[in-house]
Amino acid sequence: MAVERFPVEASHIMMFARSVGDPNPIYHDEDYAKGAEPGGIIAPPTFVQASSQYDPDAALRPKPGQPWFGSGREPSGTPRGGGGGGGGTGLHAEQHFEYHRHLHPGDVLSAKTRPGKSWEREGRRAGKLKFSETITEYFDQNGELVITARSVGVQTERVVEQA
Amino acid sequence: MALKASNIKVGDTHEAVVVENLTRTQLVMYSGASGDYNPLHSDEIFATKVGGYPTVFAHGMLSMGMTGRMLTDWVGDGRLTKFGVRFVSQVFPGDNLTAKATVEALREENGEQLVDLALSTVNQDGREVVSGSATARVDP
């Protein structure tokens, strides 16, 4: 994921907070927020995940004129990459954030991403599991590190069995 | 209002219901806001016929976001210094989720009072869906 410019905007924060079911006025009411400890609207703690909106190559966003793997006339618009077979799939296993400060509307972030560790283990409900870590550092408009994110993805051999 | 170190001790817990009867529409809202349009979360035909899942399921990050609401409602706005989770089980439409934080430690670092919390979010069957930890600045 390469995000060169992620402008943090008030309406995006409001919609993101709504989508996680959080009615806290600190995320949408400027007058309330001015009188609260942060001194203005801030973003919810998981908001930087929305940086993918500003990733030109985000694989999980349909793009005009390009095949999309979700359903249309057929259940899937295109075969999925990575082979795997057996209905195995890429899933999000872990997510960790470290906050050096919290985000405000008007911040303009850039992200630097690097691969971390990778490992494998045998899972009980989805066959062989291949884990890989990605570290993303978000910098603000002054070049200050504001959030460090560590994401762990897992590629499963087959669909996760439901208990 | 931020949490005060003098009002909590190791072992104390705080919990909140963060969603009741999770709807597919909320999954669509989260897809739109976050930019994660993976059809496994919004496209019933894809999720069942191609994915092989019983129905669509929630983004892990939505469960983390809902867990975060319990956390920020308790520790106060802008107080988190760390927040991390592991996605333990999938969350499906219709689920009720309750998120719980347990005080693990109270400590001081660089002149600031911090609380370390263990996190666990469970569904209506008591099955854990998210486990994790967080650290927040607290008042003395």
pLDDT at B5: 94
Cβ of A92 and B59 within 8 Å? yes
Cβ of B73 and A97 within 8 Å? no
The torsion angles phi and psi of A50, rounded to 5 degrees, stand at: -75, 0
Percentage of chain B beyond pLDDT 70 is: 99
Nearest to A112 by CA among A44, A154, A55: A55
pLDDT at A124: 81
pLDDT at A79: 60
For chain B, domain boundaries: 5-22+58-137
pLDDT at A91: 84
Q: How far apart are CA A152 and CA B33, in angstroms?
A: 21
Cβ of B77 and A75 within 8 Å? no
Percentage of chain A beyond pLDDT 90 is: 79
Count, residues in chain B? 140
CB B88 within 8 A of CB B67: no
A51 contact residues in B (CB cutoff 8 A): 35
**Nearest-CA residue of chain A relative to B61?**
A46
Q: What is the mean pLDDT of chain A?
A: 90
**Nearest-CA residue of chain A relative to B48?**
A75
Distances (CA, A) of B116 to A21, A118, B8, B58: 25, 27, 12, 27
Eight-class DSSP state of B112? E
**A10 to chain B, minimum CA–CA distance in Å?**
12
Q: How far apart are CA B42 and CA A11, in angstroms?
A: 23
| Interface TM-score (ipTM) > 0.95 | yes
- Total Cβ atoms within 10 A of residue B116: 16
> Residue B92 pLDDT > 60, yes or no?
yes
Interface test with B, best of A30, A46, A134, A148 (most B CBs within 10 A): A46
Of B46, B59, B69, the CB nearest to A75: B46
Q: Per-residue pLDDT averaged across A73-92, rounded?
A: 65
pLDDT at A83: 38
> Residue B28 pLDDT > 50, yes or no?
yes
pLDDT at A1: 53
> Residue B139 pLDDT > 90, yes or no?
yes
pLDDT category of residue A88 using cuts at 50, 70 and 90: low
Domains of chain A by start residue, with CATH:
6-156 (3.10.129.10)
Topology (CATH level 3) of domain B5-22+58-137: Thiol Ester Dehydrase; Chain A (3.10.129)
A19 contact residues in B (CB cutoff 8 A): 26, 29-30, 32-34, 62, 65
Q: Per-residue pLDDT averaged across A26-32, rounded?
A: 98
pLDDT category of residue A158 using cuts at 50, 70 and 90: confident
Q: What is the mean pLDDT of chain B?
A: 97
**A120 to chain B, minimum CA–CA distance in Å?**
16
Q: What are the tens digits of pLDDT across the range A101-155? A: 999 999 999 999 999 999 999 988 878 899 999 999 999 999 999 999 999 999 9
**Nearest-CA residue of chain B relative to A26?**
B77
pLDDT at A85: 37
pLDDT at A80: 56
Q: Per-residue pLDDT averaged across A33-38, rounded?
A: 96
Of B39, B45, B66, the CB nearest to A20: B66
